[in-house]
Amino acid sequence: MGSTKALVTCLLVIIFAVMLSNHNVLASEIENVSYDNCRHLCSDTYGWFECMNDCEAAGFINGGKCASPSPKAPLKCCCQK
């Protein structure tokens, strides 16, 4: 029973570490967003895919991302030049 607990603990630690590292990658990616061309609010129905398509249709070469300049502000679709 002791080895099972140790195995489960190690597995949970590995899962937590992977989740935390992915969160840091996403946060560093969002920091490079320009907030000059933000338009629609992002939601469950209007997400990153719709944002990217709308920005590309508007002529923005790098598409767009759902981002916010502060944690308390809502996410908006920001088109990137």
* Nearest alpha carbon to residue 78 among 56, 58, 55: 55
Distances (CA, A) of 55 to 2, 26, 61, 70, 71: 55, 20, 8, 22, 23
Confirm whether pTM is higher than 0.75: no
Domain boundaries, the chain: 2-80
Instruction: Note whether 79 and 63 are within 8 A (CB).
Output: yes
Tens digits of residue pLDDT in 11-67: 766 776 666 554 444 444 445 778 889 989 999 999 999 999 999 999 998 889 999
Give me the pLDDT at residue 47, please. 93
